[in-house]
Amino acid sequence: MPEGTDVVAAHLTAIEQLDPHLHAYVYVNRAAEASDGPLAGTTTAVKDNLPVAGMPWTDGSAAWRDRIADHDDPSVARLRAAGSAILGKTNLPELAASVGTANAIFPATNNPWRDGITPGGSSGGSAAAVAAGMATFGIGTDMGGSIRIPASCCGVVGLRPSLNRVPTDIIDAAGLSVTAPLARTVALVRRAFGVMVDEEPQREASAARRRIGVALETSLGVHPASREACRRAADALDAAGHVVKRIEWESEAVAEGYGIVRRASMASFPADLERFGPAIRGLVEQGRKLNALDFFSAYERATIVAQSVVNAPLLAEFDFLLTPTLGLPPMAIEAVPAFLSEPYRAYVQFVLPVSFAKVPAISIPAGLHDGLPVGVQVVGRFAREWALLDLAEELERIHGFGFREPEGVR
C-alpha cells in the first residue's frame, strides 16, 4: 500500500462530512490515490482556474461550465509527480474577480470558522479546504491578493512567490498573476513551494538580526483588529532581536491603476459576453472599450507607486516589510464589496502594491478578532522566498501566531 493512503481516505471522508455545508470543492476525485515521492502522504486541492487532466475547468463561469481539462498545469504536474494525491477542484468567483468566493454556477463557499462568513477570494475554496482539514495543500493563483486574502480570512498560511517563479500554462494579460500554495503551516508551504519550483528547500545559515519596516497606518484607515495584529507581530519580532522601524504605506494610486489593468485583462477572455454573469459582463464591456495607451499608462502609474512603497524600502533599508494582510477583518458573504469598487480598496490596500512590486509575500495567521482569523503579511526581496519563509516560520512559532483548528468544524 503506498504511503499516504490513510491520509487520502481521511481527507475524502472529511470532504464527505463537511463539504456539503462548506462548498469548498466544485469537483471531488473520489478515486484519488496516494503515490510515492517526497510529498507522499499529502493531498492537494486545486483552484478551478487551473487545469487538472480529466477534471472540470470552469473558471467559476457558465461560459466554461462543461469544459474538461486534457492536461495538468505544470505546477499540478510537479505536485502529482512528487506523490501528492490530487483530490479535486475548488471554488472561486467568476474569472477570479472578487475578494469573496461566490459565483452563479456553484453555491458560495463558507468560511470554516463561521457560517455565512466569506473565506476571502479569489482562492477561497482552496483556503477553506485546507483550513477545514479537507486537503494538505491548496493551490491557487494570486493577481491582486487572491492567495493572501483567503489565507488571512481562513487562518492558514498563503505564499505569493515572485513573478514567474512557479511555471504555469495560464496566460495572464496583466502580467501580475502567480500560481502559489496554501497550507496550515509554513513548513508545509515550504515543501509544496520547493516542488513547484523544482528546488531543494533552503534555510539561511544563521538567525541574523533582520531589518524590518512596519506599516500600521494608511490614508484609507485600518481596522483596529488588523492594526493590532500587525503591532503584535512587530513587537514580537523586535523582542526576538530584529530591528523594527515604522514606514509609510500608500495604495490608492495602485488601486486606481489596477482597476484599469484588471478590466483590460478580463476583456481578453475568449468567450461570448452574454455567457458571463451581469457584474463580470459589465467589467468585460468596460475593458473592451480601453485602448493600449489606457492599459500601459495605468500599469506604469501603479508600478511607479508600488516601486516607491515596496521595492525602494527593501532595496535601500530593509530586509523585509511587515503589514496587516487585510485592511478589514473577514466579513459576511453578502457584505463582500463589489470587485474594484471604493470599499474594495480598503480591504486590499496592503496586498495590491506587493503584486505590482512583483516580490514575494506571505500571510501568516495572527490570532482572532470576534472569533474570526486575522493575518499579517511579510514581504521579501525579489526571488528571496526561502529567506522570507525562514522569517515567517520564526514568527509562526511565537505565541499568538500560527494555525488554529477552526471552531466551526470541530
Q: Which residues belong to the active site?
A: 47, 122, 146
356 closest CA partner among 97, 160, 167, 124: 160
C-alpha neighbours within 13 Å on the C-beta side of residue 279: 15
C-alpha neighbours within 13 Å on the C-beta side of residue 261: 25
What gap in Å lies between CA 147 and CA 84, rounded to an integer? 20
Other beta carbons less than 10 A from residue 329's beta carbon = 22
What gap in Å lies between CA 349 and CA 339, rounded to an integer? 13
323 closest CA partner among 201, 160, 200: 160
Residues 6 or more apart in contact with residue 182 via CB below 8 angstroms = 123, 126, 127, 130, 137, 138, 139, 140, 147, 150, 151, 156, 157, 158, 159, 189
Q: Assign 9 to helix, strand or coil.
A: helix
Q: Is the dihedral of CA 82, 84, 86, 90 positive or negative?
A: negative
54 closest CA partner among 38, 31, 35, 37: 31
- What cell does 25 get? 470543492
Q: List b or e across 350-386, with b for residues whose CB sees 16 or more CB atoms inside 10 angstroms.
A: bbbbbbbbbbbbbbbbbbbbeebbbbbbbbbbebbbb
Q: Are 340 and 280 in contact (CB under 8 A)?
A: no
3-state secondary structure 68-80: ECCCCCHHHHHHH
What gap in Å lies between CA 275 and CA 153, rounded to an integer? 30
Other beta carbons less than 10 A from residue 256's beta carbon = 16
What gap in Å lies between CA 170 and CA 14, rounded to an integer? 30
Q: Determine the Cα angle at 117 with ends 356 and 279, to 5°.
A: 55
What gap in Å lies between CA 225 and CA 206, rounded to an integer? 33
